[in-house]
């Protein structure tokens, strides 16, 4: 992972997939989650309050924003402090993007019609206070329910990460369920991957509509992960997966993996040098694994 000087983010009109590929090639294939949960604030010697949240977030941003390709703030950990917590999140998103990093807002929004459109406007409309480069979304009201977000992402050059095969054990009861209405007998997760492949068709260097696929899931060779789009892979570090596991899990699609590490990096704070060293180590390990 190479250090980059602060710069304005690339034009949001350029598709997210192209900007993501360039960012990972330049800074290393790593996404750092910003998850300020109470136990982590405590381990940093901070209070479980807005001041602690602000101190934590500012430290992460100042230490890593100019050298990590992608950040994934978990919105819930900011929302729990109300409007003052959201203000901290707004500032973090702006500062990260000003430093040239890409921001994936982990809000897992999902609804229908005008409500889904309002969620899309919140995160994907340029000029909105929480405008991000991409948003995590839940498709379990039907993939078609995401159309307002898909349409706005195309318009603004942003992206989506759709929950497809998540790392939590409970996800299997939905995502690996076989559709009785599908002549091919596909699972729900496979259906989501097929929708994404369609929406990414013919895009270069890759599409802007990605899937969330857990790095802890082991052999996924029965699923077609070649969606011509990014694969956001939680589970590395505290959840037990390692960068060396990625080729076995993702196969030929491994180069499009965006590995997410949260506690594996954040536990080294509040020392800025230790945070940078941990992030650089993970990025180097991922690069070695996916280019072997």
Q: Dump pLDDT digits (tens) for 217-244.
A: 999 999 999 999 999 999 998 788 999 9
Is the domain 16-287 a CATH 3.20.130.10 member? no
pLDDT tens digits, residue range 60-118?
Answer: 999 999 999 999 999 999 999 999 999 999 999 999 999 999 999 999 999 999 999 99
Q: Is 108 a catalytic residue?
A: yes
Tell the residue number behind the tokens 């005008």, with chain if given: 114
Domain ranges (residues) in the chain = 16-287
What are the residues whose beta carbons fall under 8 Å from the beta carbon of 193, sequence distance 6 or more? Answer: 164, 165, 211, 223, 224, 225, 227
pTM (2 d.p.): 0.95
Which residue among 22, 37, 58, 108 is the active-site one? 108
pLDDT tens digits, residue range 230-286?
Answer: 999 999 987 889 999 999 999 999 999 999 999 999 999 999 999 999 999 999 999
**pLDDT score of 258:** 97
C-beta of residue 197 within 8 angstroms of C-beta of residue 4? no
The number of beta carbons lying within 10 Å of the beta carbon of residue 181 is 4
């Amino acid at each position: 992972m190479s250090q980059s000087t602060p710069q304005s983010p690339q034009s949001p009109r350029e598709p997210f997939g192209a900007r993501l590929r360039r960012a990972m090639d330049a800074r290393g294939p790593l996404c750092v989650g910003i998850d300020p949960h109470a136990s982590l604030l405590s381990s940093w010697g901070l209070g479980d309050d807005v001041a602690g949240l602000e101190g934590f977030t500012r430290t992460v941003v100042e230490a890593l924003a100019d050298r990590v390709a992608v950040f994934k703030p978990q919105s819930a950990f900011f929302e729990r402090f109300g409007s003052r917590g959201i203000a901290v999140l707004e500032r973090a998103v702006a500062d990260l993007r000003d430093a040239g990093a890409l921001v994936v807002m982990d809000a897992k929004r999902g609804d229908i019609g005008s409500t889904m459109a309002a969620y899309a406007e919140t995160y994907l409309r340029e000029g909105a206070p929480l405008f991000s480069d991409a948003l995590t979304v839940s498709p379990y009201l039907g993939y078609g329910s995401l159309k307002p977000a898909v349409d706005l992402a195309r318009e603004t050059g942003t992206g989506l990460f759709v929950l497809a095969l998540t790392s939590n054990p409970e996800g299997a009861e939905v995502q690996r369920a076989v559709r009785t209405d599908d002549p091919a007998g596909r699972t729900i997760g496979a259906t989501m991957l097929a929708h994404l492949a369609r929406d990414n068709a013919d895009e270069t260097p890759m599409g802007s509509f990605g899937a969330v696929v857990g790095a802890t899931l082991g052999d996924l060779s029965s699923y077609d992960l070649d969606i011509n789009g990014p694969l956001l892979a939680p589970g590395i570090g505290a959840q037990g997966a390692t960068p060396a596991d990625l080729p076995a899990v993702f196969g030929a699609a491994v180069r499009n993996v965006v590995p997410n590490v949260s506690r594996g990096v954040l536990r080294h704070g509040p020392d800025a040098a230790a945070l940078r060293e941990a992030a650089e180590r993970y990025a180097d390990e991922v690069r070695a694994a996916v280019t072997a």
